[in-house]
Amino acid sequence: MDNLEEILEEMLVNAYSKIIDNEEKILKSLNGLTLKEIHTLDIIAKTTKNKMNSSANIAKILDITAGTLTTNLVRLIEKGYVYKEKSIEDKRIIYVFLTPLGQSIRKKRELYHKKLVSNAISKLSTSEKVALTSVFNKIDI
């Protein structure tokens, strides 16, 4: 059993390394954004769909302080990827949105990820894809 766990460990570590390498390549092609900045753009996009895009909620989801988020947002605003608006009802609430440039960057990354996944699973049968989905649902990382 130890040998099997060693094989699985090596496979997961290799997969992780390849994913990180690919992520670094895409980040270089996306105007040099950091992984933290891209992740912030992702969360802003997701929370905007649910109208939950207040800065407080975004910081909570990212598990960072409001001050850290503010620092990150200043950089993203300077780069032209996001903008902020104060709530009309409650001026203490600030909403964060992606600019068209921010949306474009996310779309490029999303397309790259879809292509990456499509290539990775292209040789799998439908039943193998179902089995892989089941395995990933059970893995607790």
% the chain with pLDDT above 90: 65
Q: Which residues, in sequence order, are CB contacts of 102 under 8 Å at separation 6+?
A: 41, 44, 76, 80, 81, 82
**What is the reported pLDDT for 1?**
55
Domain 33-138 coded CATH 1.10.10.10: yes
**What is the reported pLDDT for 140?**
78
Instruction: State pLDDT tens for residues 7-45.
Output: 999 998 998 898 888 888 887 777 778 888 999 999 999
* DSSP labels, 11-58: HHHHHHHHHHHHHHHHHHHTTT--HHHHHHHHHHHHHHHTT--BHHHH
Determine the Cα–Cα distance for residues 68 and 66; give it in Å rounded to an integer.
Answer: 6
Answer yes or no: are the C-beta atoms of 95 and 135 closer than 8 Å.
no
